């Protein structure tokens, strides 16, 4: 089964490189159902993998000046605080039998994320001033969801940065990557400070293969239109969400 997980790691990276999505939302079910890892630990693993893998893309956008630091601060204050508090103080207190509830919640997030990918529509710029308070409030929501479920939250961040921070799409993606990487790192550090034990040989290999996949996906993105693939991947994510829900309810 570990070989299957390593193949999935590479595919997750390729997906991230091609369409900028498909990280934690695929990693968590793989860790839980194929690796037999408890949901609370799987979410921590996913945060670590996403932190490192998205850092590759974030650095590229940083070099091009495609990161809006005001939005990073607006999102980051509440997101990083909430995710750190949840991973360090709340998750260790969760009972062992909470896995089913967490995976059902994760199934809902999968279906939401998949729907967001399917409904790709251009967002008009209205000329209104940035809604910093809305970004800060959404940052709190994303931090809570990321803290419990280990998702990056990019499917919520990027549209919000376009709508409320008034960023163009490239800058929104670059800013989102910086935030996702920071969130993952904050969550992992909180886990480690709470004495959570990671299987480092496995996790580092999984992360390395994911990062290699990101480079492959980035190269392929010059030949393949990632946006065309995004809708198909969205349907896959919705289907995965339904499968996770049925798995938890029927077995």
As for how many domains the chain has, the answer is: 1
CA dihedral 52, 54, 57, 61 (to 10 degrees): -110
- CB-CB contact of 117 with 231 (8 Å): yes
67-76 average pLDDT score: 89
**pLDDT in the model for residue 203:** 96
More confident site: 214 or 221:
214
Exposed, middle or buried: residue 250 (CB in 10 Å: 0-12, 13-18, 19+)? exposed
95: pLDDT strictly greater than 60: yes
| Cβ neighbours, 10 Å, residue 40 | 20
- CB-CB contact of 218 with 16 (8 Å): no
107-113 average pLDDT score: 89
Residues 6+ apart with CB under 8 A from 48: 184, 187, 188, 198, 203, 207
217: pLDDT strictly greater than 60: yes
Domain hosting residue 195, numbered range: 2-250
Instruction: Show the CA angle centred on residue 157, arms to residues 151 and 163, nearest 5°.
Output: 160
250: pLDDT strictly greater than 80: yes
pLDDT in tens, 157-209: 877 787 778 888 778 888 888 998 998 999 999 999 988 899 999 999 999 99
């Amino acid at each position: 089964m570990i070989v299957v997980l390593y193949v999935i790691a590479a595919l997750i990276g390729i997906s991230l490189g091609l369409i900028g999505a498909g990280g934690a939302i695929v990693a968590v079910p793989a860790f839980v159902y194929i690796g037999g890892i408890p949901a609370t630990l799987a979410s921590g693993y996913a945060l670590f993998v996403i932190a490192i893998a998205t850092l590759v893309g974030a650095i590229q956008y940083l070099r091009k000046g495609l990161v809006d630091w005001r939005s990073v601060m607006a999102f980051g204050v509440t997101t990083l605080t909430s995710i750190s508090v949840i991973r360090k103080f709340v998750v260790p207190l969760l009972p062992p039998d909470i896995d089913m509830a967490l995976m059902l919640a994760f199934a809902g997030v999968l279906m939401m994320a998949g729907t967001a990918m399917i409904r790709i529509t251009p967002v008009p710029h209205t000329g209104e001033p940035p809604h910093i308070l809305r970004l800060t409030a959404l940052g709190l929501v994303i931090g809570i969801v990321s803290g419990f479920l280990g998702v990056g939250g990019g499917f919520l961040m990027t549209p919000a940065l376009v709508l409320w921070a008034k960023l163009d799409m490239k800058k929104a993606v670059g800013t989102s990557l910086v935030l996702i990487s920071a969130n993952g790192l904050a969550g992992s550090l909180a886990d480690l400070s709470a004495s959570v034990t990671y299987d480092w040989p496995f996790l580092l290999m999984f992360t390395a293969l994911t990062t290699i996949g990101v480079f492959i996906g980035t190269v392929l993105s010059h030949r393949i239109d990632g946006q065309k693939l995004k809708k198909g991947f969205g349907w896959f994510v919705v289907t995965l969400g339904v499968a996770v829900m049925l798995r938890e309810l029927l077995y």
